[in-house]
Structure formats: structure tokens, C-alpha cells
Amino acid sequence: MKKDLNKNKGGPVSRVRQRPQTMSIARLAKHLGLSEGTVSRALNNYPDIADKTIARVRKAADELGYRPSTTARRLARGVVETVGFVLPARHGHQIDPFLAEILDGLATELALSDWDLLVAAVPEGHDEVEVMDRLIRSGKVGGFVIARTRRHDPRIDYLRKSHIPFVVQGRTEDCDDYAWLDIDNEKAFVDAMDHLVGLGHHKIAYLGGDPDLNYAWQRRSGYLSAAKTHGCDVLDGYLHDGITDEMAARHAVADLLKHPDRPTAILCVTDAVAIGAIHALAHAGITVGEEISVIGFDGLPMGEAIHPGLTTMSQASYQVGRAVGRIVVEQANETKEANAPASEFSQILWEATLTIRGSANPPAPKLAVSAKPASMPVANAKGGIS
């Protein structure tokens, strides 16, 4: 017996609705009484189509809800509307919270322009340049955003020759011929040192990152420059390079606590390192912000959540991601000749701002220790005086 599929006798009712028929160029052309070619050329603003026709086609497209096919638009324009971001190779599987903020802003900005973000990891045994080369050869990306730049970065050397649009969050030592947006890292650490000295600190240690990374080198330079300006001796054992995670920060703090002239403040290359230092100090029974002050860099939300709250040099990581997204889309949409002069590239330097919380305060005063007089009465176990 043939079943009537249109009837429902007590069974579940399907809530899946058929999608309305998509408005296509063919349907739009039939509605207007024009050829598909004329409609397509009008939508793409070709000069051989009369202004009156262009206006009529665009009005009808808006009224009928026509949206151009992304694939067709990309083929017509010859632009791959996808930006590649290759995650910098890292030891272990730690997530870089700063890069997470950058990617959030970047993805948001690209989505507003109907562009996509392709995030690629580096397989074991490969490097970032190999991954970028594969993405370019496969035609999957129309531009790149680069972060965590080295002072001399092979990724940028490769992209210079590839003639594909790219924008750098950060910069290299030689940065005249490409687009970048960076934070004035050296000034930020001069400002952080000025703040600590203004609080009364002169014994200030530094937990720095990989000096091959340009931002880490600049921050280190700011620390050393300000220490010299203020006459703060950088004692042997006060400066630690290569601190890239919380565990390394803990080991460095343990060494500082054994120093014969223990510092009263620690300046850290990132918030993640600073939070590791705070945990290590707390584990050692040190009251952070009283016995030893700590300042970080990044302004990440997790710095506000710990106790005491982290004093930090804040950069607008999310807004940085938004800005580099706008720049790379603008570059891809422009027609530029190869070897364009530096003046045609967006090169932007932002400043970090000091966010004051509880982890940095004036150094605790040294308490005078006086000997107990020999004749001082002592309470006995029964509460009497002996």
C-alpha cells in the first residue's frame, strides 16, 4: 500500500524547512529583461555599461536580495580572499595568549570584508617558510599576516620575493620595504623602569625572552638603557634571557631569590612570564607587591584575574589584529608595482600604556632588628612571669 508521506499520524514533525531559492544572475537578468552578461558587467561596474543601466541593475539586486557568489567574484577579480597565518613554531604545546588575541581581532576584521582566515601549523620536521610556500603554490591564500618576528626573519625574506601581499605584526631590524604595525617596545620598557624607579626601586631584575626575537631584543634594550639612565646596577644574575614559559620563569625566580643582593622588583618580557614569576614568588612565601614587585607586558585579561592583579604595559592586542587585517585586505585590493618604494607601505608604530594594579608598589622599608634585653621577662607555660 502506498504511504501518504504528507500526512503525520502522531509521529515527530520535521522542523527542517526548505531554503528559499537563491537569487541568481540568471533570475535577476530574466526579471530585468536583460542578458546575463549585461547584468554581470553592470554589477561589476564595467565602463561599457550605461550609468542608468548600472543603477537599475543594482537597485533590482538590492530589492531582490541578490548576493554575488563568493567563488565567482574571486575568480572574476583574480584575488584569493583568504589570509594565511602560520603559527610560529614553539616547543611543546603551549598556547601563546598574545597570539590568540591577535587572531581574534584578525579573524573579526577579515570577516567584515568577506575574507577568510586560514591558520596553519608547522608539522614536525618542517619550518614556517615551507608551509607558506605550500599555501602559495596551492593557491589557497591571497596574503599573509606574520607575527613574532625575528631580528633577521627568513619568512619575510621569502615573502619579499613571492610578490604576495603581507603585513607584519612587529618588524625586523631591516623593515623599510614592507608593511608592518609594531609597538614601541623599547620605549615601553623605559617607561616601566621609570615607574619602578619612581616608586623607589633600584634593584631591578629582568626576565627576558629569546633575544633573536626582535620584540624581546627591543624590550631588553629598553631595560638596559633605563637602568643606565637611572644609575641602577644590573648585577651579575639580574638579567635572564630565554624565559619563554612559566616553568622557565619559576627557575629564574628561584635563582633570584638566592642572590646575595636580592632584587626588590622584577620586570618581565611578557604577562605570561610575569604570571609565572608571581606564582613562583608566592610558592616561596614572598608577598608580591610588598616584598618584591612585578611588572609584565601585554595587558592580557588573565593579568587582572590573578592576585595581586598584574601591573603591566598594555598593548591593544585585539585592535592590533583588527588593524593588520585591514591593511592586508587593502594591500591585496590595490594594484602595486613590484619593488614599490617604502613610502607606499603602511608602517605604524603604537605605544603601550601603563596599567597599574597591585603587583608593583614602593619597596618595603627595612625593619630595624634590635636584640632582646637579657632581663626581659618571659611568660612561662602557666601564664605567669619567670
Is 356 part of a structural domain of the chain? no
Tally of domains within the chain: 3
Q: How many CB atoms lie within 10 A of CB 26?
A: 10
Asked if 142 and 213 sit in the same domain, the reply is: no
Amino acid at 187: K
Distance CA 229, CA 125 (A): 45
Asked if 205 and 277 sit in the same domain, the reply is: yes
Asked if 61 and 86 sit in the same domain, the reply is: no
Is 299 part of a structural domain of the chain? yes
Contact 238, 201 (CB under 8 A): no
Is 99 part of a structural domain of the chain? yes
The single residue listed with the C-alpha cell 594594579 is 357
Indicate the range of 65-79, 96-110, 182-196, 290-304 predicted with least confidence: 65-79
Out of 288, 315, 342, a domain closes at 315
Out of 262, 293, 315, a domain closes at 315
Q: Which CATH number belongs to the domain containing residue 110 in this structure?
A: 3.40.50.2300
Distance CA 68, CA 43 (A): 9
Asked if 306 and 331 sit in the same domain, the reply is: no
Tens of pLDDT along 160-172?
Answer: 999 899 999 999 9
**pTM summary value:** 0.75
Q: And the C-alpha cell for 318?
A: 585585539
Q: Beta strands of 238-304 (E only): which ranges? A: 239-240, 265-268, 293-298
Distance CA 163, CA 227 (A): 43
User: Could you give the count of Cα atoms lying within 13 Å of 261 in the half-sphere of its Cβ?
Assistant: 11
In order of 26, 59, 221, 302, 304, the CA distances from 307 in angstroms are 63, 58, 29, 10, 8
Segment 354-368 shows an average pLDDT of: 85
Asked if 149 and 197 sit in the same domain, the reply is: no
Asked if 307 and 211 sit in the same domain, the reply is: yes
Out of 68, 98, 121, a domain closes at 68
In order of 91, 368, 372, 380, 385, the CA distances from 377 in angstroms are 62, 22, 10, 9, 6
pLDDT at 90: 66
Is 8 part of a structural domain of the chain? no
- Using DSSP's 3-state secondary structure scheme, residue 292 falls into strand
Tens of pLDDT along 105-114?
Answer: 999 999 998 8
Boundaries of domain holding 60: 25-68
pLDDT at 25 exceeding the cut of 90 = no
List 297's β-bridge partners, or say none: 313
Asked if 278 and 331 sit in the same domain, the reply is: no
Asked if 189 and 311 sit in the same domain, the reply is: yes
Q: How confident is the model at residue 255 (pLDDT cuts 50, 70, 90)?
A: very high
Distance CA 151, CA 165 (A): 21
Task: Output 245 or 46, whichever has higher pLDDT.
Answer: 245
Is 308 part of a structural domain of the chain? yes
Tens of pLDDT along 228-244?
Answer: 999 999 999 999 999 98
pLDDT at 366: 66
Is 205 part of a structural domain of the chain? yes
Indicate the range of 35-49, 222-236, 240-254 predicted with least confidence: 35-49
pLDDT at 263 exceeding the cut of 70 = yes
Is 123 part of a structural domain of the chain? yes
Q: How confident is the model at residue 41 (pLDDT cuts 50, 70, 90)?
A: confident
pLDDT at 116: 94
pLDDT at 380: 42
pLDDT at 39 exceeding the cut of 50 = yes
Burial class (CB in 10 A: 0-12, 13-18, 19+), 104: middle
Distance CA 153, CA 88 (A): 12
Tens of pLDDT along 70-129?
Answer: 555 554 555 788 999 998 876 554 567 889 999 999 999 999 988 999 999 988 888 999
Q: Which CATH number belongs to the domain containing residue 63 in this structure?
A: 1.10.260.40
Segment 50-73 shows an average pLDDT of: 79
Q: And the C-alpha cell for 382?
A: 602557666
Helix (H) or strand (E) holding 29: helix 25-32
Distance CA 156, CA 150 (A): 9
Task: Output 336 or 344, whichever has higher pLDDT.
Answer: 344
Cα–Cα nearest to 61, from 38, 96, 27, 110? 27
User: What mean pLDDT, rounded, does the chain reach?
Assistant: 85
Asked if 210 and 263 sit in the same domain, the reply is: yes
Asked if 152 and 122 sit in the same domain, the reply is: yes
Is 274 part of a structural domain of the chain? yes
Question: Which residues contact residue 66 at a Cβ distance below 8 angstroms, ignoring those fewer than 6 apart?
Answer: 23, 24, 25, 28, 60
Asked if 304 and 330 sit in the same domain, the reply is: no
Asked if 173 and 322 sit in the same domain, the reply is: yes
Q: How confident is the model at residue 223 (pLDDT cuts 50, 70, 90)?
A: very high
